[in-house]
Amino acid sequence: MRLRWLGNSCVEIIEDLHIVIDPNYVIEPEPDIDYVLVTHEHDDHIDVEKLKRLDYKHLVAPEYTLKLYKLEGIKAEVGKELEGIKILPSWCWKAEESVSYYYKGVLHTGDSAKFPDVENVRVAFTACFPDFYDDYVKEMKRLKPDVVIPIHYDPERKLKNAEGLVERLRNEGINAKVVKIGEVIEL
């Protein structure tokens, strides 16, 4: 499995399926995408113009997001599973409707500071807002992922948010690392 952070909250997973989560990317994903998954309606998680440039088979998003942007797609419903992609609860700040996604050990919760109950998390992608460091640490202690990777920050202006969270997590014995936009993580 290959993973890449594409900027903002956009993550690409390439394995049996090619998945892009939260299509507001800084660098483009590879072509031939099986699923584009959207966690919630905020425009830092979905850019419709960027979405239109992608070659994908299926779009999955909360019903509110599909209606808001007038998109055709599969309604993301908590408890539903699509080819091994599990749709789980999420609690994104000021979102009308949000979900998390879990696929073969990879967890993405949008910008939530509360994480769903899930086992065998190999990589947890998380936002890194300093006001919520304590919440992220508490959640990662509970989930016990192999590694935590902060996302949802501007590397030029807010790198210290990611570095600060990584330091806090490491001080608690939790493996975490900062990755560059486009850097490949192999599992």
Query: Using CA atoms, how far apart are residues 137 and 19, in angstroms rounded to an integer?
Result: 27
Q: pLDDT of 110-161, one tens digit each?
A: 999 999 999 999 999 999 999 999 999 999 999 999 999 999 999 999 999 9
Query: Using CA atoms, how far apart are residues 106 and 45, in angstroms rounded to an integer?
Result: 18
Q: pLDDT of 27-59, one tens digit each?
A: 999 999 999 999 999 999 999 999 999 999 999
Confidence at residue 4, expressed as pLDDT on a 0 to 100 scale? 98
Confidence at residue 59, expressed as pLDDT on a 0 to 100 scale? 98
**Which residues are CB-contacts of 26 (< 8 A; sequence separation ≥ 6)?**
6, 7, 8, 10, 181
Within 10 angstroms of residue 91's Cβ, the number of other Cβ atoms is 16
Q: What is the CATH number of the domain that holds 47?
A: 3.60.15.10
First vs last Cα of the chain: how many Å apart? 5
C-alpha distances in Å from residue 6, one per residue of 68, 88, 182, 184 = 24, 22, 5, 10
Domain that holds residue 122: 2-186
Total domains in the chain come to: 1
Residue 178 CA neighbour count, 13 Å, CB half: 17
C-alpha distances in Å from residue 100, one per residue of 73, 107, 154, 162 = 17, 7, 22, 20
